[in-house]
Structure formats: structure tokens, C-alpha cells
Amino acid sequence: MTELVVVDIGGTHARFAIATIAADGTITLGEPETLHTEDHASFQTAWEDFRERRGGSLPPNVAMAIAGPVGGEVIRFTNNPWIIRPAQIEPKLGATRHTLVNDFEAVAHAVARADESQFIHLTGPDQPLGPRGTISVLGPGTGLGVAHLWRDVAAGKYHVQATEGGHTDFPPLDSIEDAILARLRKRHNRVSVERVVSGPAIVDIYETLAAMEGRAVTSDDDVAIWTRGLDGSDSLAAAAVDRFCLALGATAGDVALAQGGFAGVVIAGGLGFRIRETLLTSGFAERFIAKGRFAGLMATIPVKLIVHPQPGLYGAAAAFANEHMP
């Protein structure tokens, strides 16, 4: 059995846990601890805080999932002042082995290893994800994370590929999306799909719908609009949420076509879980399969929502196992 520290670092929070990897590859996560990045001057001091909470010592193996690109000599975060130098991870942390992955790459590792109980069925055939082939993974959050994996369960192997699929062009499919695109083009020379399919994008969707109806609305943040849209207290916000689900369905279908994700598609992230009931009753499913001559093929793809409570931590451990314990 191998013990390791797993870390999932975002802009606001850094989550730590102790994980164990059994000889048969089974991963067990201990209770995670969440630290606020603003409370620590650096990742090093956050690590030391966690170490003290664990009695002053930690396992010598480390797996880290980081919200941002992990290549290069220096990793800088968009929303916190921390800097991580990959070459210094082992000497600074007292580690002997480490794995460093993008946060959404970690989610794809979690998808590859999670059992069927960790998924909710959304659309397509109500069957498990394919045991062999490519699975597409995407998740709307602050941006739009996109990855894919190829696996062969019988052979006990898989491979994850991180991508920047959230930065492909946004393709409007009707007059309302034409209006959303026109609004966004006033601020951006190029409109990527994550400008429409991400948590903050609900503001532009909402304000576009308001303008189309000639309504004057006060500026609200995305959290307020999501809340009113999901609890039904604001019909315009609810319409914006439905519109978001349409765009997510179309995007998920495009990703599957581009990646060959015919063994399944997985929606990940806290926002996906929050809107799961709306996804089931919206036009998500229709938009997913509405791919012209390939509609028949799209209808054969199972689409799931991963509900593992800590996919970033679990996926970091899985990435470590894949690299050091193949």
C-alpha cells in the first residue's frame, strides 16, 4: 500500500487529503481539509499548516492538481499570488516522488477509475460508460474545462489527454444565440465557447434576454442570477438557465464528435451537479444529439454526470498511480 498527500489548488481554496493506493490500484481518500489561499502567503506555508494539522509529518509522495497550465519552470495562478516551481516540489516538501497535473486532467483521471455508483445518468442509453474507447469529459465552472481519455477496462489501462477545448469558437444555433454572440463581440475580438458555457456567462445570457424583451435590469453577479433562476423566483433568470443548458448540450455534442467520445460523455464540476435537475428537463438532450447526419450516432452515446465529492483529489491520486505505479 502506498500513502500520499493529494492537493487540489484553485484560486480561492486549496484542498488537502491523505490518500492510499492499494496493491490492486484501489484508491481511498481520507477526510479532506480545505484551506483558503488568501490566508497563506504561499503554497509552502499552506503545506506547513496542513502538516501541523496532521501531527507534524506527511507521507513522502505528493500528487497535485492545479487550476492552470502546469508546463514551464514557474506556475503562476490567475486568482491567487502563489507561485510553484515544479523543480522545487520534492526538495521543498521533503518528497521523494510527485505528480503534477492540470485540475481538469485530474478530473478525467477520476472519471477513468470511478465506479458506476459515482455517476448520474443524464441522457442517451441508460447504460454504463463504455469499457473500451474514448470518453469525453467537460465541466463548466469559472471557465470550461475539456479533456478526454481512452481506456480499456479489460486490459486495465487508460490514457488521459488534457485539452483547451473550452477555447474553441462559440457557434450560435438560433437567433437568441446570435444576440448573445453579438453582445459578447462588443467586448471580445473572438468569442470562445466558454464565454457562453461557464458559470459567469449566465450574466451575459441573462442581460441579452432582458435586452431582447426591452427590460431594464440591474447588474447582478452570476451567483445571484443562478440562485434566482434555479429557485424559480425570477422567470427571466430561469430562462437564462434553460438557455445555458441548451448551449451546454450543443457543446457536449460537439466535443464528443471532435474527440470521438463515443464510449461516453461526462459532465463534471459543482455547477453541473447544481443544475442536474434542470439538465434533465431542459433541451440539453435534444441539443446534444442534434448533429445532422450524425444524430443517430449521437443518440447511442451515454451521457453522465460525475458526482464523486472530491474528483480533483481522487483524480490526483489516480494520476500518481498511473505515473508511478503502472
pLDDT of residue 176: 96
CATH class, domain 165-306, is alpha beta
Task: Tell me whether residue 8 is annotated as binding.
Answer: yes
Mean pLDDT of 174-180: 96
- Asked if residue 95 has pLDDT above 70, the reply is yes
CATH node for 2-114+309-324: 3.30.420.40
Task: Tell me whether residue 165 is annotated as binding.
Answer: no
Average pLDDT of the residues of the chain: 93
Give the integer Cα–Cα distance in Å for 69 and 197. 20
Task: Tell me whether residue 169 is annotated as binding.
Answer: no
Task: Tell me whether residue 7 is annotated as binding.
Answer: yes
CB atoms within 10 A of CB 220: 17
Give the integer Cα–Cα distance in Å for 310 and 13. 13
Residue 272 neighbours by CB under 8 Å, 6+ apart: 139, 140, 279, 305
Residue 135 neighbours by CB under 8 Å, 6+ apart: 111, 112, 129, 148, 149, 150, 151, 261, 263, 264, 265, 266
Task: Tell me whether residue 115 is annotated as binding.
Answer: no
Segments in 54-88 forming alpha helices (H): none
8 A C-beta contact, residue 108 and residue 162: yes
Task: Tell me whether residue 11 is annotated as binding.
Answer: yes
8 A C-beta contact, residue 145 and residue 107: yes
- Partners of 97 in the β-ladder: 61
pLDDT of residue 76: 83
| pLDDT tens column, 178-236 | 999 999 999 999 999 999 999 999 999 999 999 999 888 777 899 999 999 999 999 99
Give the integer Cα–Cα distance in Å for 252 and 285. 10
pLDDT of residue 77: 76
Mean pLDDT of 33-52: 93
The phi-psi region of residue 48 (left if phi > 0; otherwise alpha if psi is between -120 and 50; otherwise beta) is alpha
pLDDT of residue 11: 76
Mean pLDDT of 290-299: 97
**Comma-separated ranges of CATH 3.30.420.40 domains in the chain:** 2-114+309-324
| pLDDT tens column, 244-257 | 999 999 999 999 99
**Comma-separated ranges of CATH 3.40.367.20 domains in the chain:** 165-306
What is the CB-side half-sphere exposure of residue 104 using CA atoms within 13 A? 26
8 A C-beta contact, residue 261 and residue 300: no
pLDDT of residue 141: 87
| pLDDT tens column, 295-324 | 999 999 999 999 998 999 999 999 999 999
On the 0-12 / 13-18 / 19+ scale of CB atoms within 10 A, 249 is: buried
Would you say the C-alpha torsion 267, 172, 144, 134 has a positive or negative sign? positive
Percent of the chain beyond pLDDT 70? 99
pLDDT of residue 325: 86
Q: How confident is the model at residue 285 (pLDDT cuts 50, 70, 90)?
A: very high
Give the integer Cα–Cα distance in Å for 198 and 194. 5
pLDDT of residue 79: 67
pLDDT of residue 219: 78
